[in-house]
Copies of this chain bind each other. A is one copy, B any other.
Amino acid sequence: MDMIEQIISLALFEDAGLGDITSESILPASHKGTGVITAKQDCVLAGTGVARKTFHMLDPGMDIRMIYLDGDVVQKGTVVLEATGDLLCMLKGERVALNFLQRLSGIASLTKTYMQTLKHPRVRLTDTRKTTPGWRLLEKQAVRAGGGSNHRFSLFDGILIKDNHIAVAGGIAAAVEAVQKQASHLMKIEVEVSDMDQVKQALSAGADVIMLDNMSCAAMKQAVGYINGRALVEASGNVCLERLNDIAATGVDLISCGALTHQAQAVDLSMQIFPGPDNSQQ
């Protein structure tokens, strides 16, 4: 099972692992049904694949028509998915599929708002590792669905030297050197700095990317000027819609924004399920 199947599996288990006592008491075996998922507010969709997989993990033969896909902008009232299959499986998967779709579409929609606000197409807006535990891959996809970019996925697929590393290594230069020796040649090295002095050290140590952490726009502008294209520059910390263009105007290449994931709220989608005629002769 890959990471996404693991979180779906956990979710199905916590909701219906020991059965659905209401439905199982009432439904005859192998009753069919049809369900439609409808957006109850305008939004950018994300999680359509995980919704489909949720139903397929319960009923591999369920017939699912994906009317809209991740990244599509849909309006209130739009039907986004239609499914026909085992009714009991549909009832067991309904809440889980919706819970995925609602939160992921919330992230995609919030990201889209940021992207539409951002008036500097040259600047890349990225997520962070401030994601819902267990959902990293899904939330990173939702950010892309909303037009944003991804920062590193985890601690093992990207290098970011922070204050602790610098303290232990005995300085930025020593930290960078230690990492260069161990890491693969396909990895760039990013260093987090908080003032101009550290910017200079990071640059001379050979950092590929310099993260300006919680610095004022004025200080960031000065840093960008000093770096002058010799490294990519990332702004980080306290990024919100209001400050977005001011930060971008400092000339940074990247803005990373935890709010894309941790401030997103669910958008409203609902599912209507229509029981078919009884056909319980298997």
Query: Which residues from chain A sit less than 8 Å from chain B, CB to CB?
Result: 1-3, 6-11, 13-28, 31, 33, 66, 87, 91-92, 95-96, 98-100, 102-103, 124, 126, 129-137, 144, 149-162, 164-165, 167-169, 175, 178-179, 181-188, 190, 208-209, 232, 234, 253-254, 262-266, 273, 275, 278, 282
Q: How far is the CB of A58 from chain B (nearest CB, A)?
A: 10
**A interface SS class:** mixed
**Is the CB–CB distance between A132 and B99 below 8 Å?**
yes
Give every chain B residue within 8 A of A175 (Cβ-Cβ): 26
**Is the CB–CB distance between A186 and B263 below 8 Å?**
no
CB within 8 A of A254: which of B25, B157, B185?
B185
**Is the CB–CB distance between B265 and A263 below 8 Å?**
yes
**Is the CB–CB distance between A184 and B265 below 8 Å?**
no
CB within 8 A of A26: which of B91, B154, B165?
B165
Q: How far is the CB of A132 from chain B (nearest CB, A)?
A: 6
Nearest residue (CB) in B for A58 is B2
Give every chain B residue within 8 A of A190 (Cβ-Cβ): 186
A/B interface sample: 27 pairs, CB < 8 A? A2-B17, A7-B10, A8-B133, A11-B136, A14-B133, A15-B154, A19-B137, A19-B155, A19-B156, A21-B159, A22-B155, A22-B162, A22-B179, A33-B164, A95-B130, A99-B130, A99-B133, A102-B262, A103-B262, A144-B182, A150-B184, A151-B185, A185-B188, A185-B234, A186-B188, A186-B190, A264-B265
**Is the CB–CB distance between A22 and B275 below 8 Å?**
no
**Is the CB–CB distance between A18 and B31 below 8 Å?**
no
Q: How far is the CB of A208 from chain B (nearest CB, A)?
A: 8
